[in-house]
Amino acid sequence: MTGTDGRDTDLRKELDATLQTRRELGEEYESALVDSFMEKVDQRIDGAVERRLRRTLAEQRMQMARGNRPGDGADSWAERFGLAVVSLVLAIPLSAIGAHQAGLSGLLISWGGIVGVNLVQAARTNPGLFKGRRRPSDDD
C-alpha cells in the first residue's frame, strides 16, 4: 500500500499482530516483541526521513540548475526573520551592558554591531542591494 493511510494501516496491523503474539506467548516474550515492533517503527521513520531528504536535495539541485541560490524562497525569509528576532532580543542586554560599561559610546558601539550584523546578512541574502540605482547617463 502507498500513501500515509496505507502506511498507518500497515503499522496498525503490525501492532495488532504483535499484541496477539504477546497474548499467545505470554509476558516473558514482551520485551522482545516490543523491541521488534519498535524496530519496524524506526525503519518506517527512517524511510520517511530518507524520502523527504531525497526530495529536498532534488529540489535544491533543480534550483541550482535554474540558477537560483539554494537559500532563496521561504527558508531565506525564515532565516532573515529569525536573525531579526534574535537581534532584537540580544539588543536589550547588549545595550544595557554597553551603556553600563562605557556610557553612550558603549551603547552606540553595541547598536553599531547589531546593525552591522544585520547589514551583512542583508547583503549576503540580497546581492546588489547596496549597489545603488544606475542613472541612464551612467551607461555611456
- pLDDT tens, residue by residue, 32-72: 888 888 888 888 888 888 999 899 889 888 888 887 655 55
pLDDT-derived band at 1 (thresholds 50, 70, 90) equals very low
pLDDT-derived band at 2 (thresholds 50, 70, 90) equals very low
Answer whether 0.75 is exceeded by the pTM.
no
Q: What is the 3-state secondary structure (H, E, C) of 55-100?
A: HHHHHHHHHHHCCCCCCCCHHHHHHHHHHHHHHHHHHHHHHHHHHH
pLDDT-derived band at 111 (thresholds 50, 70, 90) equals very high
